[in-house]
């Protein structure tokens, strides 16, 4: 494809069928699929040669002409894949878009991230007359330069913005194999997950010259969820829960964003990708407060069992995912699953992502971290990971709903065999906005004030009556045999409510 299809920033409508097998498999199912395997390589990224040029361009709002310096543009002299020429581009086909850097957004390990205005090529510069739309933008004052003749004009500004990650080749070569984050692998992961899901940010295109690798991504503009939480409740970064009132987002607001996060994780799992760095900082909001998962620098491609030969393959030709040979911590310590902290040699990569999802939800609702790290030396982790979350929440007088506590506890279990699957999380009453029904924590005793016919809790033979199910176990028991149609209905409800 030569250039970006215009408009490149409108995600396609997401269509969800029924739950794939990936969403329902438990740890033991994955372990039974075959020996643990190393993560697969991502397909080589498609990378185009690029250059910086000075061009005249028309301001699409005012109609004035400016000479723009240092515009990033794809060249027409070759398509590069994995840094080697594999196919020639037709010289007659010109790139449809170019990018004018206007602001540095952030530093990165390998360079920086810059905000850029998207320029589009004028299809017929001879007959395209200037129009002056109403309104102006602040950036117009920065479009300075000499005027140019209109008959040689080829470019026009747009309202669209992108964020471009500038990764210096010098730094890439210096840190290759020494740092977990790999810009080339990130480009490959971004292209594999695509740029069509409404809650996952992929790459619009990948460019390179002799100095840098340029990853072009949509600019969202709403800030990350961590920053939003700071502004919402005065988030304290000490990592300590304490005192009534340390509450995060309202549950309805948190539910909206959490549903979107689950849909993003579902998309990654369908693509056979483990994100490995899910955190509030990597959840970005757009101008309409829609949540998107970003930053695939530590992502891994999950191994699957080949349905024909029984060997290792990817999700497209596989039956069940396999356990993965652990690749180390990956993302931020606070979000790392206990099996990662314990340096277990084999892990279920999807279960580790779901642990991080649970930590994200806790911080969203409570406003503070559940623990410093998932290690037995952390007393709060030791309590929560063995089922003590409800007791902790009650002791600290944190006013969140019983449904939210139940959902959180299902994520934050140390044993990945007991942790929520993605399908269970998506069908949970809190996620679907439903209240628990018929969930007594104990049976009433046969006192004078008790209900007639209730079992006597003092009767030692009445063991089944005394041994009540926790809400999490009760929900799991009631939903473990859900039909594909039921799964599809709940999935559709989840999607439609975002």
293 and 366 share a domain? yes
Cα separation of the two ends of the chain: 32
**pTM over 0.85, yes/no:** no
78 and 178 share a domain? yes
469 and 426 share a domain? yes
- pLDDT computed for residue 94 by the predictor: 79
* Domain termination residue (choose one: 171, 199, 219): 219
232 and 301 share a domain? yes
Please list the pLDDT of the chain residue by residue as tens digits (498 residues): 333 333 333 333 333 334 577 799 999 999 999 999 999 999 999 999 999 999 999 999 999 999 999 999 999 755 554 443 333 333 446 789 999 999 999 999 999 999 999 999 987 644 343 333 343 344 333 333 333 444 578 899 999 999 999 999 999 999 887 777 889 999 999 999 999 999 999 999 999 999 999 999 999 999 999 999 988 865 444 444 544 555 789 999 999 999 999 999 999 999 999 999 999 999 999 999 999 999 999 999 999 999 888 899 999 887 899 999 988 887 899 999 999 999 999 999 999 999 999 999 999 999 889 999 999 999 999 999 999 999 989 888 888 999 999 999 999 999 999 999 999 999 999 999 988 765 543 333 333 332 223 233 333 333 333 333 455 555 555 554 444 444 444 444 444 455
204 and 325 share a domain? no
Classify residue 492: in a domain, yes or no: yes
- pLDDT computed for residue 77 by the predictor: 59
136 and 279 share a domain? no
Classify residue 149: in a domain, yes or no: yes
- pLDDT computed for residue 236 by the predictor: 41
* Domain termination residue (choose one: 219, 239, 261): 219
Classify residue 15: in a domain, yes or no: no
Range of 61's domain?
Answer: 45-219
278 and 345 share a domain? yes
235 and 361 share a domain? yes
Residue 211 · residue 156 · CB < 8 Å? no
279 and 337 share a domain? yes
Residue 274's beta-bridge partner residues?
Answer: 300
- pLDDT computed for residue 69 by the predictor: 94
- pLDDT computed for residue 124 by the predictor: 61
243 and 359 share a domain? yes
- pLDDT computed for residue 396 by the predictor: 83
* Domain termination residue (choose one: 200, 219, 238): 219
Classify residue 8: in a domain, yes or no: no
Classify residue 9: in a domain, yes or no: no
CATH of the domain at 155: 3.30.200.20
CATH of the domain at 351: 1.10.510.10
Number of domains in the chain: 2
The number of angstroms, rounded, from the C-alpha of 263 to the middle of its chain's C-alpha atoms is 9
154 and 227 share a domain? no
């Amino acid at each position: 494809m030569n250039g970006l299809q215009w408009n490149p920033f409108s995600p396609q409508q997401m269509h969800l069928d029924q739950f794939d097998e990936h969403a329902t498999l438990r740890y033991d199912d994955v372990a039974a699929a075959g020996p643990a395997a190393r993560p697969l390589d991502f397909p080589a990224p498609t990378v185009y040669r690029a250059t910086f040029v000075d061009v005249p361009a028309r301001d699409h709002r005012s109609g004035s002409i400016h000479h723009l310096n240092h515009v990033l543009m794809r060249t027409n002299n070759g398509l590069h894949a994995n840094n080697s020429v594999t196919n020639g581009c037709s010289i007659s086909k010109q790139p449809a878009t170019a990018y004018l850097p206007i602001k540095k957004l952030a530093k990165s390990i390998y360079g920086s991230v810059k905000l850029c205005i998207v320029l589009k090529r004028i299809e017929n510069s001879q007959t395209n007359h200037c129009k002056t739309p109403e309104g102006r933008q602040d950036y117009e004052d920065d479009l300075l330069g000499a005027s140019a003749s209109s008959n040689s004009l080829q470019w026009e500004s747009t309202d669209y913005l992108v964020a471009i990650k500038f990764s210096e080749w010098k730094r890439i070569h210096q840190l290759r194999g020494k740092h977990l984050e790999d810009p080339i692998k990130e480009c490959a992961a971004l292209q594999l997950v695509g740029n069509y899901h409404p809650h996952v940010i992929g790459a619009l295109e990948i460019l390179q010259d002799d100095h840098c690798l340029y990853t072009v991504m949509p600019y969202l503009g709403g800030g990350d969820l961590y920053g939003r939480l700071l502004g919402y409740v005065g988030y304290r970064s000490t990592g300590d829960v304490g005192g009534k009132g340390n509450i995060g987002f309202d549950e309805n607001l948190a539910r909206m964003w959490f549903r979107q996060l689950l849909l993003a994780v579902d998309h990654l799992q369908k693509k056979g990708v483990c994100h490995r760095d899910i955190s509030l900082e990597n959840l970005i909001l757009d101008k309409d407060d829609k949540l998107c998962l970003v930053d695939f620098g530590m992502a891994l491609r999950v191994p699957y069992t080949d349905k024909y030969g029984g060997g290792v393959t990817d999700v497209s030709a596989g039956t069940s995912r396999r356990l993965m040979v652990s690749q180390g911590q990956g993302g931020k310590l606070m979000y790392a699953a206990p099996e990662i902290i314990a340096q277990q040699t084999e892990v279920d990569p999807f279960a580790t992502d779901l642990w991080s999802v649970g930590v994200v939800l806790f911080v969203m609702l409570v406003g503070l971290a559940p623990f410093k790290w998932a290690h037995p030396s952390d007393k709060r982790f030791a309590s929560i990971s063995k089922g003590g979350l409800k007791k902790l929440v009650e002791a600290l007088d944190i006013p969140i709903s019983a449904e939210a506590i139940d959902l959180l506890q299902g994520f934050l279990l140390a044993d990945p065999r007991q942790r929520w699957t993605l399908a269970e999380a998506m069908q949970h009453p809190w996620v679907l906005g439903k209240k628990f029904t018929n969930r007594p924590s104990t049976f009433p005793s046969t006192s004078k004030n008790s209900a007639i016919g209730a079992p006597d809790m003092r009767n030692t033979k009445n063991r089944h009556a005394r041994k009540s199910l926790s809400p999490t176990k009760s929900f799991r028991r009631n939903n473990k045999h859900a039909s594909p149609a039921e799964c599809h209905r709940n999935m559709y409800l989840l999607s439609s409510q975002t």
